[in-house]
Each structure stands twice: as C-alpha cells, then as structure tokens.
Amino acid sequence: MKKFIKHTFSLCLVALIAFSCSQDESTDYVDAIVAPSNVSAAVSVTQDNTGLVTITPLAQGAVSYSINFGDGSEIMEGITPGEGADHVYEEGTYDATITAYGLNGLSATAAQNVVVSFKAPENLAVTIENDLAISKQVNVTATADFAMFFEVDFGDGSDVVEANIGEIASHVYQDAGTYTIMVTAKGAAIETTSYSEEFEVTAIVQPLASAPMPRNRAAEDVISIFSSAYDNVPDTNYFPDWAQGSQGSSWAMFNLAGDEMLQYINLSYQGIALADGVTVDVSNMEYLHLDVWTADEVTAIETSLINNSSGTVTEAPVTTNLNANAWTSIEIPISAYTDQGLTVSEIFQLKFVGTPWAAGTVFIDNIYFYKQGEVTSGGVTPLTFETEFSLDAFDGGATTVVANPDTNGNTSSSVLELVKGSGQPWAGSKITIPTPFDFSGGTTVTAKVWSPRAGLNLLMKFEDAVPWPDVTGTAEIIATTTVANGWETLSFDFTGIDMGIDWYNMVLIMDNGTQGDGSANYTIYVDDISTSPELDFEPAFSLDAFDGGGTSVVSNPDTNGNTSGSVLQVVKGAGQPWAGSKITVPMPFDFSGGTTVTAKVWSPRAGLNLLFKFEDAVPWPDVTGTAEIIATSTVANGWETLTFDFSGIDMGIDWYNLVMIIDNGTQGDGSANYTIYVDDIDIN
C-alpha cells in the first residue's frame, strides 16, 4: 500500500452555537462569501510510457472545479470536490490551470506544472532531515528532471510514502536508530531513478514547551518544593549525594526559554532533600502534584515520600505511568501514602525511581503539595483547556471532547465523542486518570450515551497502568443501546472486580468485532460516567458564541509548536461581521499581577486580526466592556504567541467574560479560513 501525502486535510467537527438578533431567512450572507483559496492540485502519472496523468483539484471553499490541461485540449468542467480527471498527454512540459468555484460563483485559479517525459528521471537531488519539533520524524524532499513525484521506503518495514517533486514526505519511526532510506523518482517513463542513504533517526529528548502553569492558590493551601508559581521551601537540595552517580545518573537545572526545570539524566533513583533540620507537615494537604516530561525510554516513575518522625525514617511509594514525548501532570492523593501506614507530619525527603532502571532522562517541574481551598481571584488563568484526564485511541478509534451536539435529554455543554474508523475490528478509545478509579462505593457503572442507532453494542472494561501486553484487565462488560439519535443511560455491572488492583484506564469499544468506517453510523457521544471520580467532561469555564460564532474544546490538531492535548477552536460563521465567541469564568479575571494578556494562537493565515476584550457579568445591553485590543497573526498554519496590552483596565470591575472576534467587521463563512485555535491564555 502507498500513502499519498501530497496534501494533508484536517477535518474537524465544528459545533456551531449560533445566536441571531433576528430570525429572517435572508440569504444576503452568500454575497459576502469570499472566493476559494489555497487552490492547488494533486498530480499522479502512470509509469508505463502512455502519458496518462490524473489531476485532482484542491481548494478551500470550493464547490466545483474546471481544468485547462494546457495542451490545447477541451477544458473539463463540473469536477466535484474529491474527484480527479484523467488525461493523456504527449511528451512535453505543460502548464495546466485549475479553477475553483465558490458557492456564490466567485472563482480563483492556480497553475500546475505537468512534466511528461518518457526519459528516466535525471539529476535526482535528495534532502533527508530529522524534524526539529517532532521526535523521530524524518522529512524527505526530492527534485529531479523529468520526474513528477517520488516515493520513499523509510527502511523500517512501514508503507511506502509518496509526494510530489519539491514537496515533503514524512514518517515517524517507532525507534531511533540508523536506517537505510531509499528514494525513487518517477515520471511517465517506465524507468525510474533511485537514491539510498544510511540515515540516523534521532529522538527529541527534551521538552519543547513548558509544563502547564499551576493555578493561583492561597499561600496556606500550598507547600511548594520546586515551582516558579509558588514560594518554595528554602535551601532545598535537588541532588543530594545518595550515590546516584554510581548508577550512571546525574542531574542538571534545565532552562527552557527562561523556565527552569529539574533534569534527571539516566534516572535510576533520585532524591530531593530539605535543608538540615527542616521538615514539612503535609497532613493537612490533599494532593502531591508534579509534572514530568520524558521521551519514550522511561515508562513510569515511582514517587516516594520520606518521613522522619522523632528520628524514625519511613517511606512509601506511588507509581505513575508516563506519556512519551509529552508532559504528564501527576496528582497523587496524600491518602495514597497514609493508606500505606506512612505518617506525613514530618516529610523531609522525596525520592523518584525510574522504570526501566537508569534507562532514560526525565524533566520534572511544579512539585508541590496542595489542598482544594478557594482559588484566589484570577485563579482561572491560565486557561489551558486541558482536562483532569487524558484521552487515547487505538487501532482506528478516535476520541475527542466536543460541544454537546444534542442537548435534548442531556444539557451538558461538553461530551466525549467516540469514532470507530476503518482500522481494526477492535478499534476503540481509552480514558486515563491520574488516580485509580474507585469502586469502593459500588461496582455498577452508568453512562449517558447518544447513539445513531438502536442495537449498538458498547463494550467497557478497566485496565491497570502496566504497559501492553502485560496489562491486567477486567471482564469486558457490554451494554446495548435501545434509542436511536438520542440520549439514554446504559449500565455496566462490574460485580467481582478485583479491588486490589489500581485501575487507571477505562477502555471503550463500540461493536467489538465489527469493522467501523468513521461515518456517523460509527460515531457516538458519552457523558456523565458514574465512576469515582465521575467523568463529566466539563471544563472549569463555560463557552458561548454570538451572531454566527462557534466555540468548542477539541483535540490539538497541530502539536508542532504546542504540545497541549486540548485547545479551544474558534470559528467565525456566516452570521454578522462581529460574530464571535465568549469564555465565562467562575471567578473574575485578575489583573493585579499585570495587564498583559498572552495567548497561543494557530491561524490559517498571516494577517488575521484577533480581537480580545473583557466584559463584566451584567446581561446585554447593559454590559460594561474594556477597550477592544487587537493582535495580528504573523504565521500561517502554525502556532505563535500573541500579546494584548490592557494597560489602564479598570481594576474596580469584576471581569467575568473574555470576548474573542476574528477579523471584526469582515463576514466569516465558517470555513478553514475562518477557523483558529487558541491555547494557554494567561495574564501577567
């Protein structure tokens, strides 16, 4: 099988919540729709000396296409999106013209060079590089005379990847190492030209982004060991001499663009010691928090608290699985230590142990104990759009938190979307939580489920945190839907579940044993899973939209430059020119520490104007708002940090709402051109 990567499509489910000032059925908005953009084409040719070329037009906002093949032949009209046109060329070089037509008849054109030669490709030049942002990804580009595309065998048994000449073919390896990469340039000729190279694939072994910023908590609710967000216990030793060096371990204070974090190299075991004679009483705290980043060498970390009560030293460990090439935010209940008999009134050391032993490096940040007191004013920032659980999918499944598409029968604003694609018959999804699921209060699990059809079988099981294939799982309990296109509550009976195992993962599979196809028939929504803790998929803020805007929390579609798992998707639809979105927080935004607002923004184009303003909680039209501050994107199809200066903001007003408008004064159309992603909104 060959995979074409000439063009990459990102298909996002956009949940539009439209609010209109009137209910007329005018279609005037059609006149404001812009012409199609990003017009191009995917081109392939058969290698048989026949000159048979297939051109597949591509564009944003197009409803049909025409192709002028550039050789004097008849123009082909009425090509629908996704379809290609076959054409036989004589040997030669041609400039084909692709014309894309929008809904209102506006059009845009682009030229496409077509080279048809029955000569073998010549002057093949190949560039092979490790990607600077994605670990173990290799990017290959190739140019050659008399060639139209090239294919790459990456040398690890994976599928061959094809790309147009001059474009990029990419592949992510399972393991770093040296591989023989074969590049073959192809044109219309039967003969091809190849190049091979022994290439070393490298892993990115350091984080590219900081750990999530801790919430603003009252001083009495936190005991911080290492974090720039709080006052740390003074004179703490982050690398005491416990003979780690004899195990090949070492440490460094790693600085990422001014953000310091602990780097423990070849982690076997590592201690943190408070100053001599210093202990902390964490018996009034509820959790120990730490953020850990690692590449794929370290799969789990054991975190021990060590107590020194009247000269008697005792300790207890808790083990947590780690995510590869990403930050893992760990929340360990203090009860996980006291339940092992540990006294926690005189903690004077912490210890970390890596699994496997001395096999890789970890970066650790934000080590602190805390209790769930009231968050201080402004504690809602930064808005990271991350949840207290992580989502994963396997063998063709897909999992995303989305805006509830049907509030009839379930008024939640956010729900879990599960899609079964055309992978394996057992394709499914997995929810991982930082502390084990608790069945002490009951073994019957209920969940609200929206299914497109009655008779859909939903399988649920729980697994421990041991990596596959040594994972331990519960029985697979199946519940069957009885309602089509509506919500109902399903029950799963886990009587007999082993209470002695820590169940960190919940696995969900729809119609196990049946091949999915990614369609609406294999898309369900799940909410309010009655485990402890209950999984309700609601963020710590509410989202709203007005006059044609749309807002939802979605999986990050581009982790290059922003490794967050979840981000805010903002869409400007065909409503009013001021259509926008609004974030409402439970406590006012706090500007006492600064009036500069920053946000990571992914824009489809440079020059997009993003408006920010804050409003109080008074209903429209009596609402009080700040000045409207606009920042302009400078990057297309990538993440950047935008800055909004709110100097002079009235500190006497409680600002509960943040309003965002894309290109205020310009009509949106709901397309990719008017879809942005926002993350890590902060005030400093």
Among 125-129, 408-412, 634-638, the range of highest mean pLDDT: 125-129
Percent composition of the chain: helix, strand, coil (DSSP 3-state, to 5): 5, 45, 50
pLDDT at 481: 93
**Calpha distance 572→544 (Å, rounded):** 13
pLDDT at 535: 81
**Calpha distance 32→34 (Å, rounded):** 6
Per-residue pLDDT reduced to its tens digit, 331-376:
899 999 999 999 999 999 999 999 998 888 899 999 999 987 543 3
pLDDT at 472: 93
3-state secondary structure 563-630: CCCEEEEEEECCCCCCCEEEEECCCCCCCCCCCEEEEEEEECCCCCEEEEEEECCCCCCCCCECCCEE
Residue showing tokens 């077509």: 114
| CA-angle at 642, arms to 639 and 646, nearest 5° | 160
**Calpha distance 549→505 (Å, rounded):** 36
Per-residue pLDDT reduced to its tens digit, 600-632:
999 999 999 999 999 998 887 788 999 999 999
**Calpha distance 487→448 (Å, rounded):** 6
Q: Quick check: 513 pLDDT over 50?
A: yes
Per-residue pLDDT reduced to its tens digit, 62-115:
889 999 999 999 999 999 988 999 999 999 999 999 999 987 778 999 999 888
Per-residue pLDDT reduced to its tens digit, 524-572:
999 989 887 778 776 667 778 888 888 888 878 888 888 787 888 999 9
pLDDT band of 317, cuts 50, 70, 90: very high
**Calpha distance 227→231 (Å, rounded):** 8
Q: Quick check: 41 pLDDT over 60?
A: yes
pLDDT at 133: 63
pLDDT at 399: 86
Residue showing tokens 């908005």: 29
Q: Quick check: 33 pLDDT over 60?
A: no
223 CB-near residues (< 8 Å, 6+ apart): 233, 280, 282, 285, 368, 369, 370
The kind and range of the H/E element at 231 are: none
Give the pair of three-digit tokens for residue 407.
């509030």
Per-residue pLDDT reduced to its tens digit, 164-205:
898 899 999 988 899 999 999 998 899 999 999 999 998 877
Per-residue burial over 434-465, b if 16 or more Cβ lie within 10 Å, else e, is bbbbebeeeeebebbbbbbeeebebbbbbbbb
3-state secondary structure 19-50: CCCCCCCCCHHHHHCCCCEEEEEEEEECCCCC
pLDDT at 216: 63
Cβ count near 180 (within 10 Å): 12
Cis peptide leading into residue 382 (ω within 30°): yes
Q: What is the mean pLDDT of the chain?
A: 85
Cβ count near 28 (within 10 Å): 9
Give the pair of three-digit tokens for residue 20.
């209109």
Per-residue pLDDT reduced to its tens digit, 252-291:
898 887 789 999 988 889 999 999 999 999 999 999 999 9
3-state secondary structure 465-531: CCCCCCCCECCCEEEECCCCCEEEEEEEECCCCCCCCCCCEEEEEECCCCCCCCCHHHEEEEECECC
pLDDT at 229: 82
Residue 29: φ, ψ to 5°: -65, -25
Q: Quick check: 30 pLDDT over 50?
A: no
Q: Quick check: 23 pLDDT over 50?
A: no
Share of the chain above pLDDT 70, in %: 91
DSSP state of 673: G
pLDDT at 380: 53
Arithmetic mean of pLDDT, 481-500: 91
436 CB-near residues (< 8 Å, 6+ apart): 502, 503, 504
